[in-house]
Amino acid sequence: MNEEGRLSDQIALVSALAEHVQATLQRDLSEAALVRLARRLVEDTRLSDAEAVRLVGREALAAVRALRGTEVNSVTEEQETK
């Protein structure tokens, strides 16, 4: 590999490293937000962070699905009455 090709690869490596650092930071911020919200919603403080996220995550998904089901049902009812 010549010097120009090597320099090009080194530049690409530094760019990839910077993208990795940014992605890692974003992931860490997202994880912190998830844990913070889960801790606000969970009642059992003895649970680990992962257990709290799983528990309240299941509850939140069920609530959102129920809400969306209600929204779908109300739209269907409106269409049937027209």
pTM for this model (two decimals): 0.64
Determine contact, residues 53/38, Cβ cutoff 8 Å.
yes
At position 61, the amino acid (one-letter code) is L
CA distance 2 to 38: 53
Task: Give me the tens of pLDDT residue by residue for the chain, a chain 82 residues long.
Answer: 899 999 999 999 999 999 999 999 999 999 999 999 999 999 999 999 999 999 999 999 999 989 888 765 655 556 666 5
